[in-house]
Each structure stands twice: as structure tokens, then as C-alpha cells.
Amino acid sequence: MKTADRLTQWIGKTESFKKLSTLPLNFVLNFVLIVPFAIMIFLSFTRWEPLSGYDWWHAPIAGVPRFVEAFGDARLLWALIRTTIFVAVVLPLEFLLGLGMALLFLGDFRGKKAFTSVVMYPMMMPWVVVGLGFYLMFQYYGPVNLLLLKPMFGEGGVIDWFTNAVLAFVAVMIADIWQWTPLMFLIIYAGLAAVPRRLIEAAEVLGASSARIVRTVRLPLIKPLLVVALIIRGLEAFKVFDIVYIMTRGGPGVNSTEVVSLYVYNLSIVYHNTSYACAVSLIIMIGIALVTRLAIRPLEVRAE
């Protein structure tokens, strides 16, 4: 046996070597994840901020009151409501648009590869670039007004998007939908393309229309994939920060478009209210974990 083969065999057999080889990665992951997480939990039970003038490990324990304070925080509640509205609007729209595009792309047509690449571009752009682009586009003298609304509706059709809370929020949603519909398209298209051709042909032979085939053959077969796509995209949408920060900074006015991530950012970075920010983050994390657990139950039931 060659030396290399002997060495490979020895490595494959040695249990300790395998375990030891995972140790560096475990070390890094645990250090990067667990240690800051443990500190965050500790701080959420204290009253500490950098302006206190003493180190965080000397912070006095405050116990549960920080969490009680969070549950009575109207600004947090409104941030949660806005974030929920944001997810409830963008998620179905991204799903439906992604599904529609995926169905359109199922067949072969000229330039399909090029079009597919173009469709994917928004998803590849950094959030900051997208946020800045749409921020400029929706300005009073921006292209949305000057190239779209003004030619269609005249001077009266020009909208000051960022001085109205609802319109500003709509602009943010449009930016998010533009950027992340391609992700839904990608996942759904991959699923639809993997549906066995014989099932489609069988349905066609039996006289089913295209719409019926989509409804009764394709979609049911890719249902687990759709659930995963919705969960992934839903979680990401809940964490939205960059485009809101760039486009509105939570305004206009007082926090009218402030989402949960932006509120936690303001608490921790702008206000330096670190321990309260930790408490709020922990509450939100537990909330998301519970919701996600409920969301994946259909998958678990199916697996059983």
C-alpha cells in the first residue's frame, strides 16, 4: 500500500484525530458566538452603559426590571408593529412575484441565461448600495417623480415621499421587494425545475391545463421548499436595518418608520443604553425563535 493510502487510512481510523481536527473550528465558533452571547445575557440583567464610568463586569445586577421595562416600552411595541407590517407586506409580494417569474422562466426561450443573470443582479448588490439608490430615486427631484409620476400625472402627481410616514415606508418596502424577489425566484425556480418531467407529461396527457398542473402537481411537490424559502426570507425581512437606516433613519418625524433593528441600534449605539439594548435583543430573539419553531412544524409533521 502506498504511504499516502496508509496515511489516509490511519487518519480515517483515528477517532481522536477527527475530534481534534474539529477543535479549532469549535473554538472559534464558540468564542465568537457563545462568549458574546453570554455577556449579552449578563448585561441584560444589569444597569450598565459605557457612560457609567465603570467596567461592565462591575455593573450592579438589576434583575428582571429591564425586561419589565421592555414590555412597557411603547416605542418598542410600535417598532415591532411596523416590522410585522413590513414582513406581512413584503413577504407575500416577494413570494408571488418570485413565483410568477419562476413560472415564466420554466420554458426555454432565447436569451434565457442572460435574462436569468439580469434578474439575479439586485440580490447581489450590497444593501447599502440598494438603500442609497432608492433613497436618491424617491427624492422630490428624483427619477421616480421626474421620469414617472410627473409625465403621467403632471405637477400635481409629484410626491414628497420622505415627508410622509406612510409613503416613506412604502418606498422602503419597494426597495426591499426589488432586492429580494430574485431570492424567492431562485429558490422557487430551482424547485419547479426539479419536478420530475414524467409527472408533468402524465398530467398533460390526462388533459390538465397549465394552471391546473401548477396548482395540483408542481406546487404541492415543492411545498417544503416554499416553506423554507418563506421562513428564510421572513427572518431576514424581520431583521431589516440597512435600507431603513439609509433611506429614512427612522423618520420622517419621530420614529415613524423605525423598525426593531433600528430601535436596538439607536439604543445601543446612539444612546449607549447597552444593558437595555441587550434585554430588548434577548426578548426579540426568543420571540423569533418561538415563531420560527411554529413555522417549521409543518415540515416536522411531514417528515414524521
User: Using the 8-state DSSP alphabet, how is residue 60 labeled?
Assistant: P
Considering the rule CB under 8 A, would residue 301 count as an interface residue with another protein? Answer: no
**Least Å distance between CB 26 and another protein?**
5
Of the candidates 214, 252, 292, 295, which one interacts with another protein according to CB under 8 A?
252
With a CB cutoff of 8 Å and minimum separation 6, the contacts of 90 are: 173, 176, 177, 180, 237
Phi, psi of 249 (to 5 degrees): 55, 25
User: Using the 8-state DSSP alphabet, how is residue 68 labeled?
Assistant: H
Distance, CA of 269 to CA of 261 (rounded, Å) = 12
Task: Give SS3 for 241.
Answer: coil
Binding residues for another protein restricted to 213-232, rule: CB under 8 A = none
**Least Å distance between CB 226 and another protein?**
31
Distances, alpha carbon 213 to alpha carbons 14, 207, 224, 303, in Å: 53, 10, 18, 25
Which CB, 8 or 209, lies closer to another protein?
A: 8
**Least Å distance between CB 33 and another protein?**
11
Of the candidates 61, 270, 294, 303, which one interacts with another protein according to CB under 8 A?
270
With a CB cutoff of 8 Å and minimum separation 6, the contacts of 107 are: none
Which CB, 184 or 246, lies closer to another protein?
A: 246
Considering the rule CB under 8 A, would residue 16 count as an interface residue with another protein? Answer: no
Considering the rule CB under 8 A, would residue 56 count as an interface residue with another protein? Answer: yes
Distance, CA of 217 to CA of 264 (rounded, Å) = 44
Considering the rule CB under 8 A, would residue 140 count as an interface residue with another protein? Answer: yes
Considering the rule CB under 8 A, would residue 248 count as an interface residue with another protein? Answer: yes
Considering the rule CB under 8 A, would residue 304 count as an interface residue with another protein? Answer: no
Of the candidates 7, 32, 34, 68, which one interacts with another protein according to CB under 8 A?
34
The cell numbers describing 208, all together, are 390538465
Distance, CA of 149 to CA of 104 (rounded, Å) = 29
Considering the rule CB under 8 A, would residue 46 count as an interface residue with another protein? Answer: no
Size of the site for another protein (CB under 8 A): 43
Considering the rule CB under 8 A, would residue 300 count as an interface residue with another protein? Answer: no
Distance, CA of 179 to CA of 83 (rounded, Å) = 17
Task: Give SS3 for 149.
Answer: helix
Binding site for another protein (CB under 8 A): 12, 15, 18-19, 22-23, 26-27, 30-31, 34-35, 50-51, 53-56, 58, 139-141, 160-165, 248-256, 266, 269-273
